Amino acid sequence: MYRKAVFPGSFDPITLGHYDIIKRGVSLFDEVIVAIGINADKKYMFTLEDRKKFIEDAFADEPKVSVITYEGLTIDLCRKLDAQFILRGLRNPADFEFEKAIAHTNRKLSQIETVFLLTASKTSYISSSIVRDVIRNGGDYTVLVPDSVKIKAHK
């Protein structure tokens, strides 16, 4: 069976934690679709185009990874793409409780399984909101993100 997973998020911006989950997901699935959710009510630091490009550039040499944008429910996107799995990363117990509720809801509404990967200990403290705060305050965010973000954010 061909195993296709959707890794949804806002990726504002992609962090080394996200990068680690995607890289490890590639070893588990035949295809990993990074799906950038569009939420009109959210204020983003980076444009949708920039966020998409950061991820595409970070995985330019990985044919099993593609990047798309979407609106609506993740399970609807999975059905449309024939993806059997939702991939999620967990940093801490609070992430688990939040993600568990979403996974149970998605399972109740569909046959799509959620697969959780624990973030690597070396990246478990990194979140996009922390990266944005470091950038806003002029700190060295480059140790928190893939090279593709470093280049773009310096412009």
Q: Which residues are catalytic?
A: 18, 42, 91, 128
On whether 11 is known to bind a ligand per the annotation, the reply is yes
Q: Which two tokens stand for residue 16?
A: 């080394």
* 18 marked among binding-site residues: yes
Task: Please calculate the CA angle 47-35-49 and round it to the nearest 5 degrees.
Answer: 20
Is residue 127 part of an annotated ligand binding site?
yes
15 touches 22 (CB < 8 A): no
Instruction: Please tell me whether 121 is known to bind a ligand.
Output: no
123 is in an annotated binding site: yes
Q: Which residues have CB under 8 Å from 40's CB, separation 6+?
A: none
Q: Looking at the chain, which runs of residues are DSSP E strands?
A: 4-9, 31-37, 65-70, 85-90, 113-118
Partnered with residue 5 across adjacent β-strands are: 32, 85
Q: Does 136 show up as a binding residue in the annotation?
A: no
29 among the known binding-site residues? Answer: no
Binding site as annotated, residues for substrate: 10, 42, 74, 88
**Residues of each annotated binding site:** 10-11, 18, 42, 74, 88-91, 99, 123-129
Per the annotation, binding residues for ATP are 10-11, 18, 89-91, 99, 123-129
